[in-house]
Amino acid sequence: MTPPLIFNALLGLLVTLGVPASLASFVIAGMKLRNEGGANYQASGGFLKWLFWGAFFLTLPGLSVWLVQESVPGATQLVMASPSTPYTNGISKVANDFVDDVLISHIVPIVAASLVFKALLDHSQGTSPLGSIITAMFLLGVQGTYNLATGSWLSSGAYGTTDLLMNVFNYAAGTISPIVGGLAISAGILAFVQHKQWKSFVASGIGFLSVAGIWALIKTWTGVSI
């Protein structure tokens, strides 16, 4: 039985909204990162959850195609659903415009700027400013990370979501971690000059600089090829 047009239109609208929803999920992940300490995040915390949902929404079309290949009932309707109907086009346009023009272009820079200001306040009170600085860098890099995710990182099929998350980890280990490590060592030098506790900063900096090497060593020990 052919489903009514309204069902196909609403289903297509949800699939189309997956793209702006993934970008919004990455932004929320950045905000959760600050709540969980910035440089440190909980294994079951909101940062990883929203990062997963962002990857899931982004790879949903590829997962739909894989479900069709596996002959899952109803998957064909998910792939063939079309949002091009007069009563759903406006919703899709508003959602995309809000994410691109309001959330990314205006709200994210303001939040990042406030986090930089908070980092200065944290430092003036004798606490580490790394949490706010790292979160500000993550939020300002959301658009670039999203462009990479929709470009060279994006793959279709059953493993699209996990492949995207692994590419995010490789990007964090190879690009973001060295920057964070340099900031941590700089904070350690500043703490040493001020006769404060500096060893933890230096140790953290060395750890961040060695993330890629530690991960390669663990894979070698366990015999896992990812």
> Could you identify the residue written with the tokens 């929803």?
21
- Taking the C-alpha atoms of residue 134 and residue 84, their distance in angstroms, rounded to an integer, is 40
How far, rounded to the nearest angstrom, does the alpha carbon of residue 201 sit from its chain's CA centroid? 25
pLDDT average, residue stretch 179-204: 85
On the question of pLDDT at 49 being above 60, the answer is yes
pLDDT over 70 percentage in the chain: 74
pLDDT at residue number 144: 81
CA angle 124, 106, 19 (to 5 degrees): 120
On the question of pLDDT at 5 being above 70, the answer is no
On the question of pLDDT at 80 being above 60, the answer is no
pLDDT average, residue stretch 69-77: 61
- Which two structure tokens, joined as six digits, stand for 51? 């990062």
On the question of pLDDT at 70 being above 70, the answer is no
- Residue 84's pLDDT band, with cuts at 50, 70 and 90, is low
pLDDT at residue number 111: 86
pLDDT average, residue stretch 176-187: 85
pTM of the model as a whole: 0.68
pLDDT at residue number 88: 64
What digits encode the pLDDT tens for the residues 101-156?
A: 888 888 888 888 888 888 888 878 877 777 788 788 888 888 887 777 777 777 76
- Which two structure tokens, joined as six digits, stand for 12? 């297509």
- Residue 75's pLDDT band, with cuts at 50, 70 and 90, is low
pLDDT average, residue stretch 214-221: 83
pLDDT at residue number 102: 83
Please choose, from the candidates 62, 21, 51, the residue with its C-alpha nearest in 3D space to the C-alpha of residue 155. 62
